[in-house]
Chains A and B, each alone.
Chain A
């Protein structure tokens, strides 16, 4: 901080500490928080980070090692920007866990440090294990990575908050747009992986709800590609038209390919001249590095300045988790995990996350309700769902994903407030 000229009608302020440390002793209600001079008490948030390499067809979308964690780090920095005025400090303790390592051991090291709020980007089976292992210690797990609906339904646990949108939310978001666009005839293509089968089931469910027709349904077997060989492109250009030929008349090809094995090869290579959506082409996602609406430009700028790369959906999901904790702490006037979670689950909790409508928690299964962006493969944002005209008695955000009357989650997440 520099002071270039005397401040008119008053003494100049020459340092950050002077500004931060000096405050008038104003009459305080619980809502008035003058800046404190003493070091603030700290809440450390845990992060169980899955360190693994991901093969992607497109090199530019290959995740960086800090994918997800960097989002949580920016979230914690944002918490501290506010916390400096509220006498609250936040830190992040991250433990890196490789694919074959035990995430529960990592969680135990965090628990031993007194950490009770833990973000993770591990896959669904591990989120479940972490929730089970953390429950006796009063640990809440924030699931930033796994979209499986089973985690929110049959396998739901009351100490898990899902900042990652569920598969159903993503497929509903795409379905609404395709219906709005009057592209109701879908050619559904899915891979061999169990996650692909579940995602295909989610598309079938969305089609039924929103009135689309799956006119053809085809599984892609074997690994597409040979991209490492010199003739790979020619091979693909022959394989994919053959795979997609003889389909009944359809409007859009919807691909379910969770592991990025073949879907990115579909656009421009289908037998019929049709657009591709789902795991390639028009992709439903919780974030896109091109999203600038609703103040999103500031988020992108802040993230790039910190991480020196674009912000992914996983980064956003982790940022949301860290900011949910920080926001609840500021409104609850407490760094106690129990008080933070009580406020977060209460009716007043809302988080702004650069997607127009505020985010909040569905009491019936711990899912964070949120708008979903439709991205042109990370190049532009095409639209945002819910689409106009899809209504709901509570909030239009509940037109996406499993609604209260349909839930199979038996654990009530509702809390006081």
Chain B
């Protein structure tokens, strides 16, 4: 190891940017909204190794806990296809109108919650039989979906009518509808299940909601020096398993904000792309534009962002809060997921 390290020290800095210990195993997948494909990234090689054709407008995805099946919402084809991640063959299909996003209940890989954006519905499916179990009416344009860690509570965000809507898993009952700032896009539970964090794309905020009382605990605002607030549009939220850090993708601000979860304070902004403005930021590495959704590697050493406007994936080193790599993928990547192995 000593010899190897000394060799590395002799290399130019650019080549040493990915230290040997940082080699990541496993695969990542992006759904590419514009060219109707999935990109399969080999994380060890940091390279797109396969492009899988899909139906029209793939966006939301869910992965079974063993990583064996990838469920892909194809809004303009009105179906969710189930891909075998070894053969990349479609092994099942759920016909449902305009699916945008899907969340899989864990443990058990069932059922699947789908937001049907055009129909103001959340539909619930058994992925083994591909039969619908129930449907729940929502506000206009349901989008973000999340299931609580204990699987008992479901939250959906209605993009056009500004609500975080809570449903009970067991009965499908509508428990509460919490008004949040405009265009809520995404919801994420803390791993202790006590809070749900909801991003508002146009409001430029993240609302923290108590999952027992459904009261708003806090509203997190973002400000980047030199950047008009209208360009700060939070979408994806990923929270570390220890509930210490939350990463919030800020869309056209081309940055990912790092938030201290217990204190709900913004620590830093990781830049993922070239901004139109001369912005002062703590971390500033030019990579991709308009990050929307993100995924951790299983060890949470890295966070991947899908950059919709630059057609690539940024790889953030979580401990260093630095962007360490960029991987080109298909057109307009919407979501990214990482295999558990």
A78 nearest in chain B by CB position: B140
Q: Is B177 an interface residue (CB 8 A)?
A: yes
B136 nearest in chain A by CB position: A19
Q: Is A412 an interface residue (CB 8 A)?
A: no
Q: Give the complex CA separation of A335 and B31 in angstroms.
A: 42
Binds A, one of B63-71, B166-174, B315-323: B166-174
Q: Give the complex CA separation of A10 and B172 in angstroms.
A: 9
B179 nearest in chain A by CB position: A31
A-contact 0/1 string along B212-236, CB 8 Å cutoff: 0111100000000000101000000
B-contact 0/1 string along A25-55, CB 8 Å cutoff: 0110101111100000000000000000000
Q: Give the complex CA separation of A23 and B134 in angstroms.
A: 16
Q: Is A159 an interface residue (CB 8 A)?
A: no
User: Known interface pairs A13-B171, A19-B136, A351-B182. Does A26 touch B163 (Cβ–Cβ under 8 Å)?
Assistant: no
In the complex, which residues of chain A have a beta carbon less than 8 angstroms from the beta carbon of B312? none
User: Known interface pairs A26-B175, A350-B202, A352-B202. Does A85 touch B163 (Cβ–Cβ under 8 Å)?
Assistant: yes
Q: Give the complex CA separation of A78 and B161 in angstroms.
A: 8
Q: Is B117 an interface residue (CB 8 A)?
A: yes
Interface size counted on chain B using CB atoms at 8 A: 55
Q: Which of A8, A22, A32 contacts B173 (CB 8 A)?
A: A22
Binds B, one of A205-213, A249-257, A294-302: A294-302
- Whether A32 pairs with B214 at a CB distance below 8 angstroms is yes
Q: Which of B129, B173, B182, B213 has the most CB of A within 10 A?
A: B173
In the complex, which residues of chain A have a beta carbon less than 8 angstroms from the beta carbon of B161? 78, 81-82, 326-327, 330
- Whether A396 pairs with B129 at a CB distance below 8 angstroms is no
A348 nearest in chain B by CB position: B181
Q: Give the complex CA separation of A11 and B171 in angstroms.
A: 6
User: Known interface pairs A5-B129, A81-B161, A295-B141. Does A302 touch B134 (Cβ–Cβ under 8 Å)?
Assistant: no
**Smallest distance from the beta carbon of B315 to chain A beta carbons, Å?**
27
Enumerate the 5 nearest inter-chain pairs by beta-carbon distance, A residue then B residue, closest first.
A10-B170, A82-B161, A358-B202, A85-B177, A82-B139
Interface positions of B (Cβ within 8 A of A): 75-76, 98, 110-111, 117-118, 120, 124, 126, 129, 131-141, 158-163, 165, 168-179, 181-183, 201-203, 213-216, 228, 230, 252, 276
Q: What would be 12 A-B contacts, judged by CB atoms less than 8 Å apart?
A: A4-B132, A4-B133, A8-B126, A10-B168, A19-B137, A19-B173, A26-B175, A27-B214, A78-B160, A85-B163, A298-B118, A352-B160
- 20 additional contacts (CB under 8 A) given A9-B170, A31-B179, A35-B174: A1-B134, A3-B134, A4-B133, A5-B126, A7-B170, A8-B111, A8-B133, A10-B168, A19-B137, A20-B137, A29-B214, A32-B178, A81-B140, A81-B161, A85-B163, A295-B159, A301-B118, A326-B161, A352-B183, A352-B202
